[in-house]
Amino acid sequence: MTKTKNVDLVALFKKEEKNKKYLLISSVVFLVASVLPWFSFGLGITISGWMGILFLANFAALAILLFWVVSNLGILLGGLEKTPKMVNKVLASFILGSVIIFIINSSFSFSAFGIGFYLGLISAGVAVFFAFELKIEDIKKKLDNLKKDKKNN
C-alpha cells in the first residue's frame, strides 16, 4: 500500500511571496471575469470572455494556476515542476495583450462594455504588474528622476 502525502495548498499559498500571491489572485479574478458579460447589446444579449483570443487568454490564466499547483504538489513534468518566472511573465503579458486586442478588434463603444471586461482588464494589468515584480516605490523613483531630468534640461 502506498502512502499519500497530504498537501495543504492554502498553507503553501500563504507562504508565497507577495508578487506570486497577487499574480495567482489576478489569474483567478480573470477567470471569474471571463464568465461575466464583456459586452452587452440591446435586448439583454451579452457576450462573455470566452470568445476569440480571450478563449486563449483564459487558458493562459489557467496555466499560471496549474503550474503553481503542480509545482507545489511535487508532480514531475520533465523539469517544469518549478515554474520559471519568465513563463509567468509571458502568460500574464499574453492575457493583457489579449484584452488589448479585444479592444482594438471590437468597434464597440466603451459604454457597451460589461463588468466582465473591466474586471478582466484590471486583473490582466495587475497580473502583468506582479509577474514582472514591479514595485510602486521603484516606479515613483523613476518618475521623480524623470521630473528632475526635465527640470535640469
pLDDT in tens, 26-49: 999 999 999 998 887 777 778 888
In degrees and rounded to multiples of 5, residue 108 shows phi and psi of: -80, 155
Boundaries of domain holding 66 = 9-152
C-alpha cell at position 137: 516605490
Domain count, the chain: 1
- Is residue 139 domain-resident? yes
- Is residue 4 domain-resident? no
pTM summary value: 0.79
- Is residue 85 domain-resident? yes
**Confidence bin at 124 (pLDDT 50/70/90):** very high
C-alpha cell at position 102: 479585444
Instruction: Check pLDDT > 90 for residue 121.
Output: yes
- Is residue 122 domain-resident? yes
- Is residue 2 domain-resident? no
Mapping DSSP to helix (H, G, I), strand (E, B) and coil, where does residue 113 land?
strand
**Confidence bin at 125 (pLDDT 50/70/90):** very high
- Is residue 3 domain-resident? no
Instruction: Check pLDDT > 60 for residue 10.
Output: yes
- Is residue 1 domain-resident? no
Distances in Å between the Cα of 82 and the Cα atoms of 45, 60, 97, 152 are: 43, 17, 25, 47
What is d(CA 84, CA 68) in angstroms, rounded to the nearest whole number? 10
